A and B are shown apart, each in its own frame.
Chain A
Amino acid sequence: MSLDTSKFARTNRSTAATGKKPNKAGAVAAWADDRLSLGTLTRVFARKVFPDHWSFMLGEIALWSFVVLLLTGTFLTLWFTPSMSESAYQGSYTQLRGVPMSDAYASTLHISFDIRGGLLMRQMHHWSAMLFIAAMFVHMMRTFVTGAFRKPRELNWVVGSLLLLLGILEGFAGYSLPDDLLSGTGLRIADGLIKATPVVGTYMSFFLFGGEFPGDVVIPRLYILHVLLIPGLLLALVGLHMVLLVFHKHTQWAGPGRTERNVVGYPMLPVYAAKAGGYFFMVFGVTALMGALLSINPIWKYGPYDPSKVTAGSQPDWYMGLAEGLLRIMPNWETQIWGVTISWNVLFPGQIAPFILFGMIIGWPFLEQWVTGDKREHHLLQRPRDAPTRTAFLAAMVTEYGLLWAAGGNDILATHFHWSLNSITYFMRAAIFIVPAIVFYLTRRWCIGLQRSDSDRLLHGYETGIIMRSPEGGYSERHLPISETSAYTLTARHRDEVHEVESEVDENGVPAPGSRVDRVRAKLSRAMFGDNMQKPTAAELEEARHHAAHTHELEAELDHPVAGHEFDDHALRDADEVPLRQP
C-alpha cells in the first residue's frame, strides 16, 4: 500500500504531524502550543496542588479586591479630570451650583450624579480599597502567626510587606484626588508632616506641591502616581508574589501524610480553579453590595477644598488610624536649637514611628532565623501556640494598633460617650505602653498553657467524663488515649532549641570575637523559647503508653466513654475514623 504523503503536513518536529482532522478547539490549542509550548505548561501547572484551609483564602481576598480595584478604577478614569483649574460649578447638584471649585472635584460630582452607575463604581472602588488593605493585613497576620514566612519564603514576606506599604500609599493618593474638603485636609496634614522633615522639609513640600501649599499641581501628580506608577509596581509585585508562591508551593498544616516533603490538597484543575474563580465573583459581589447599600465618602456633602475650612470629626481612611492616633497623642515636644526647629511632635509619629514599625515587619523573619539559627526549609505551618513568643508579639502589636486606632478617633469617642477628650488622650499615652505588655504576657502564658494541655493529651489521653471511684473512696477521671492521627499531628512540630553561648573566650583566653553578639542572641533565644513546653520525647510517650496499657487492664470494662461523652474527642479525630461510635 503506498503512503499518501499529502496527509502529512510539512513540519520540523521530530514526529510527523498527522493529517488527522482535529476538532476546532484542538486545532486552536495545537496552533497555540506550537508557538507557546502550552502543553508542557498545562502538564506542569494544571494539576498543581493547593492545600485547603479557610485561612489560606485571606490572601485571595486581597488579590481579588485588587482586581476589583483595577476594574472599577479604570471605569472612573474615563470621566475623572485630574486638574486643579478652577471654575464655577454648573452641574446637576443644585446645592453647589455657582461655587468655584477645581475640575477634579467637579468631575467627581459629575461621576457621582450624572453618570449612571458612576456613584456605584466610586463606592465600590473605595470599599474594595478598604477591603484590599484589610485583607492584606489579616493575610499577613495569618502568615506571621503560623510561621509561613520561614525559609524559603522570607523574600515573599518582604514582597508582601512592600505590597502593604504601596497599598497604603496608593490608598492615600486616591483619597486625595477628589479635592474635596476632607481630602484637602488630608493633604494639608501630609504637608505638615513633610515640612517637619529636618533640613529639607520645606524644599520637599515646595517640590511636591509645585510651590506653596496647596498649589495647582499636586492632584495631577498624585493622579499619575495613583493610576500608573503605584499600580504598576503593585501589579509587578503581586506577580512576583504569585510566582514565588507557585515556585515554593503552598504551605500546609501537619497531619498524617502531610510532611515537609510533600504537599497534599486539591488540584488546580478543576477544583481549585473553580473555587478561586467563584471566590473572585463572591468578593466582587460583596463589594457591589457594599457599593449599593453603604454610602462611603459622600464628597458632595463636604464641599470643595478651602484651607480655611474644616469639619469637626474629620477622619482619614481606617488604615491611616495608626499614624493618626500617634499624631494625636504625641506630647508636644519641639526643639529649637542653633536657629533651627525640630518638631518631634510631628516628626516622630509621622516619619520615625512608621519606619520603625515597617522595619520590624520586614525584619522579623531574619531576626527569628538569627536567634534560632534554624536554616532548614519549613513547609509545615506552626500552630500559633507552638510559637508563644511570636504569637504574643502579634497579639501585642494588634492591641497597639487597636489602641492607636481608638486614639485616632479620640474626638469621636469623646462626643459619643461624653468622656473627657483630655482624659482619653492622657490614658492612651500610658496605655499604648502598658496594655500591649500585659497582652503580650497573657498571650504567651496562654499559648504555653495550650502546649501543656496538648502534652497532657499525648501522655495521658483525653478526658472521657467517666469518674472512677477507687476502693479507698478517692475519685479520678478516666482518660483514654487519643487517636494515632491526632497524636501524629500534635507531635509533628520541631523541638525548640535554646541557643547557648558556647564560649566567652577563645582558646587563648581572649574574649572571642562576636561573643557580645552571641550573648544577645542567647538571651533573646532564652526569652523566646526558654519557657516553651516541649513535645514529649519518644521515651516519655512509650512510658505513658505502658502506663495506659496497665490501667487498661484494671479497667477493662471501661474502655469507652460513658453515654453523652462519646464525641468529646471529636476535634481530635477524623470523621471516617470514628463513623458512628457505639456507646
Chain B
Amino acid sequence: MFGLAILGSIGFIVSYVVFRTGDDPDTIANLGASNLMLGLCLTVTLLGMGAGMIQWARKLMGDHEIVEMRHPASSSQEDREAAVAILQTGLEESGLARRPLVRNSLLAAGGVLGLLPVIMLRDLGPLPGDKLDHTLWDLDTWTPEMQSWWQTQDRSLQRVVRDVVGTPIKVTELEVGDLVNAEPEVMFAVDDTTQEPLVEGTDLLVGKSKAAVILHRMLPGDIVSAQTLNWSVDGIVCYSKICTHVGCPISLNERTTHHLLCPCHQSTFDLADSGRVLFGPAARALPQLELAVDDEGYLAAKGDFSEPVGPSFWERG
C-alpha cells in the first residue's frame, strides 16, 4: 500500500513535467491529460496511504477496547462555592457595586467606543439617492462628457441599438416574432479625440444592469393593452430586460404567445399586455419603454422608464 503511494507520487512528478496545459492541451479520452494524470496519481498516493494506515490499524494493532470513566461536566460544589467567593471578593475589592458612577460611565464609554467602528463603515459606499430611479435612457443623468458627445450628434431621441455590436435598428429589420437584445446607444459612444468609449468598465456594467432592454415585434392586432399599443411602433414593443423579481436578465421568448420567461426563477411576463406577470414569483409588471422612430427611420426611445426597473426595494413606493 505505502509502496503504491510512493509510485503515485513519482507518477505525479512525471505527469507534472510531461503533460502540457494551456489552450491545446494533451488529452486522454477527451479529458485534459495533465489534470487527469495529476489527479489520478494524487489519488493513488493518498488512497494508498489512507488504506495502508487503516489496514495497519485494523489488522496489526491491538483490537481490545478499553474503558474510561466519565465525570460530570459540572465542577464540584466546593469549586463552585470557591469560585463564587472569589468573584465576590473581586467585586468588592474593585468597588464595582459601591461606585455606580465609575462603573456606569465606563460602560457608557465602552458603548460609545463600540459605535465608532460602525460609523467608520459609513464610507463603504455612497448613499442610494435616486440612482435606482433612473437609467441611461434618461439624458439628464448623463455625465458632462456624455452630454457634450450628445451635442455633436444633433438628434433629439436616443436610439435603441443592438447589444454587443451597437448598430441602430430600422423597423423593417425586425420580423414578426423576433426578439432582439438592445441597449441605449450612449453605451457605444466613443470620445472623438481619444477614441475611448465614454462608458466602460464598471460604469458599463452598472448601466447594463438597469438599461438593458429587449425589442419584440408582433402583429399590432395581437397587442392587448392600450398603453402597450401606444408605446409601440408597428407592433414593435420595448421592455426592460431586468426581471422585477430579483434582477436576472430575462431572455426566454415564446414567439407565438409573446410570453417572456426569466431563466432564473421562471417568472413569466406578457409582452402584449403591458408586461403583466402571468406566472412565477415576480410581483410587478415588466417596465415598458416608449418607442418612437427618429428622423432617419431608426428605433429610438422617447425617454426613460416611467418607474424604477429591476428588483423591488423599500423606497420605490
A residues sitting closer than 8 Å to B (CB atoms) are 47-49, 52, 84-86, 92-94, 100, 113-120, 123-124, 152, 185, 188-189, 191-193, 195-203, 205-217, 247-249, 257, 260-267, 270-271, 274-275, 277-286, 288-289, 291-293, 305-314, 327-334, 336, 339-343, 345-346, 377, 379, 410-411, 421-422, 425
Q: A160 CB to closest chain B CB, in angstroms?
A: 17
Q: Is A308 touching B67 in the complex (CB atoms < 8 A)?
A: no
From B28-36, B144-152, B291-299, the one touching the partner chain is B28-36
Q: Per a CB cutoff under 8 Å, which of A278, A292, A328 touches B50?
A: A278
Residues in B whose Cβ lies below 8 Å from that of A207: 121, 124-125
In the complex the two chains form, is B209's CB within 8 Å of A291's CB?
no
Q: Which B residues touch A333, using CB under 8 A?
A: 283
Across the interface, do B61 and A270 meet the contact criterion of CB distance under 8 Å? yes
- The answer to whether residues A191 and B311 also contact, given A92-B23, A411-B263 and a CB cut-off of 8 A, is yes
A308–B163 CB distance below 8 A: yes
Give me 20 A-to-B residue pairs in the complex whose CB atoms sit less than 8 angstroms apart, sorted by A's number: A49-B66, A117-B34, A124-B39, A202-B313, A205-B313, A212-B210, A262-B68, A263-B70, A265-B65, A266-B63, A275-B54, A288-B46, A291-B35, A309-B251, A310-B251, A328-B266, A332-B245, A334-B283, A334-B284, A377-B72
Inter-chain contacts of A277 with B (CB < 8 A): 53
Chain B residues whose CB sits within 8 angstroms of the CB of A307 once the complex forms = 205, 208-209, 212, 242, 249
Q: Are A192 and B246 closer than 8 Å at their CB atoms? A: yes
Asked whether B42 is an interface residue with its Cβ less than 8 Å from the other chain, the reply is yes
Structural contact, B316 and A285, CB atoms closer than 8 A: no
- Interface residue? B101 (CB, 8 A): no
| Residues B49 and A341 in contact, CB atoms below 8 Å apart | no
Q: Is the CB of B280 within 8 A of A343?
A: no
Which residues of chain B have a CB within 8 Å of any CB of chain A?
Answer: 16, 19, 21-23, 25, 31-32, 34-36, 38-40, 42-43, 45-47, 49-58, 61-63, 65-70, 72-74, 121, 124-128, 131-132, 163, 181, 183, 200-202, 205-206, 208-210, 212, 241-242, 245-249, 251-252, 263-267, 277, 279-284, 310-317
Evaluate contact between A188 and B263: CB separation under 8 angstroms.
Answer: no
Contacts of B247 in A (CB 8 A): 188-189, 191-192, 213
Q: A346's contact among B62, B183, B311, by CB below 8 Å, is which?
A: B311
Query: Once bound together, how far apart are the Cα atoms of A127 and B50, in whole Å?
Result: 19
**B54 CB contact (under 8 Å) in A274, A343, A345, A377:** A274
Q: Given A113-B22, A206-B128, is A282 in contact with B38 using a C-beta cutoff of 8 Å?
A: no
Within 8 Å by CB of A152, from B42, B73, B206, lies: B73
Bound form: Cα–Cα A283–B53 in Å? 13
13 more CB-based (< 8 A) A-B contacts, given A191-B246, A308-B241 = A113-B22, A202-B313, A202-B314, A207-B125, A249-B68, A264-B65, A271-B63, A274-B56, A280-B50, A282-B51, A314-B264, A334-B312, A345-B281
B23 and A113 form a contact (CB under 8 A) = yes
Q: Is the CB of A331 within 8 A of B22?
A: no
Known: A196-B311, A306-B208. A86 touches B201 (CB 8 A): yes
A346-B312 CB under 8 A given contacts A279-B54, A289-B39, A308-B249: yes
Chain A residues contacting B183 (CB-CB under 8 Å) are 308
B202 touches A193 (CB 8 A): no
Whether A202 and B128, one on each chain, are in contact in the complex, defined by CB atoms closer than 8 angstroms, is: yes
From A151, which residue of chain B is reached at the shortest CB distance? B73
- In the docked arrangement, what's the CA distance between A464 and B281, Å? 59
- Residue B282 contacts which of A94, A284, A332 (CB distance < 8 angstroms)? A332
A345 touches B264 (CB 8 A): no
Nearest neighbor of B201 in chain A, beta-carbon distance: A86
Nearest A residue to B23 via CB reads A92
* CB–CB A410/B266 < 8 A: yes
Q: Which residue of A lies closest to B42 (CB)?
A: A288
**Interface pair A206/B282, CB less than 8 Å apart:** no
Minimum Cβ distance to chain A for residue B172 (Å):
25
Q: Say whether A346 contacts B246, CB under 8 Å.
A: yes
Chain B residues whose CB sits within 8 angstroms of the CB of A248 once the complex forms:
73
A450 to B40, CA, bound (A): 45
Report the nearest B residue to A411, measured CB to CB.
B266
Contact of A206 among B31, B62, B73, B126 (CB under 8 A): B126
A313 contact set on B, CB distance < 8 A: 263
CB pair B68 A120 closer than 8 Å: no
State in angstroms the CA–CA spacing of A152 and B310 once bound together.
50
A193 CA / B247 CA spacing, docked (Å):
10
CB-based contact A86/B200 at 8 Å: yes
A249 touches B70 (CB 8 A): yes
Check if A312 sits within 8 Å of B35, measured CB to CB: no
Q: Is the CB of A281 within 8 A of B47?
A: yes
Least CB distance, A323 to chain B, in whole angstroms: 11
Q: Give chain B nearest CB distance to A359 CB in angstroms.
A: 24
